[in-house]
Amino acid sequence: MSQKDIGNKIPIYKLKAGKEVEEYYDEWTVENKYDKDMVDWKYSGPQETVNLFEKHISQKNIKILDAGCGTGLVGVELKKKGFTNIDGADFSQKMLDLVPQKIYKNLFKINLNQKVNINDNTYEGITCVGTFTFGHVYPQALDEMVRICKIKSLICFTINIGIYEEYGFDKKIKELEDNNSWKIIKFFKSNYIASKGVNAWLVLAQVIK
């Protein structure tokens, strides 16, 4: 599905990364419309991602970054599964302001399209749901995710199928494999936002750098 076609269903996909997207999200938070829309759309990305992540993790106290956490939908699912040591980061402060209390240990604003102010080998797991999509975050963010993860960490993320080749995610995933930075454990189609005809690749990678 083209960006134009999909943008008619989900208008934010028509925008360019940066200020336009941030302002749209700021407006989307008014009266918590974002969370209401996700319920109405039957958005399954958070549940599917956390279910996959949890199946491959034996310890629930690992340090996790929920990158692009939005209003905390993934964090809520992680908490349900018993994970206790989660940080959340997003580029929209107004989205972060809507995160329920006691989901994340730390919340901070971040731009995943830039080098992030996080030390190497900080996290033991990363979830990233809904950020690799039209006009949002680009493949180079995966380099940073590998950098800030410890060896054997798991990175579980979605990629909107419409941008997978157009934005070069196919090449970046292969590059990280060829460089022995990670190995792909799972790669399959997620329902994601099936009610809108929007699917995503759901990927689980283990850092081996």
Q: What are the structural domains of the chain?
A: 3-207 (3.40.50.150)
pLDDT attached to residue 16: 67
> What is the C-alpha separation between 78 and 46, in angstroms, rounded?
9
Q: How far is CA 159 from the centre of its chain?
A: 8
pLDDT digits (tens, 9 = 90+) for 115-145: 999 999 999 999 999 999 999 999 999 999 9
- Averaged over 28-38, what is the pLDDT? 90
pTM over 0.85: yes
Contact criterion met (CB below 8 Å) for 48 and 202:
yes
pLDDT attached to residue 163: 94
Rg for the chain, CA atoms, rounded = 16
Give the bridge partners for 89, in sequence order: 67, 108
pLDDT attached to residue 1: 45
Residue 59 CB partners (closer than 8 Å, separation 6+): none
- Averaged over 56-79, what is the pLDDT? 97
pLDDT higher than threshold 80 for residue 10? no
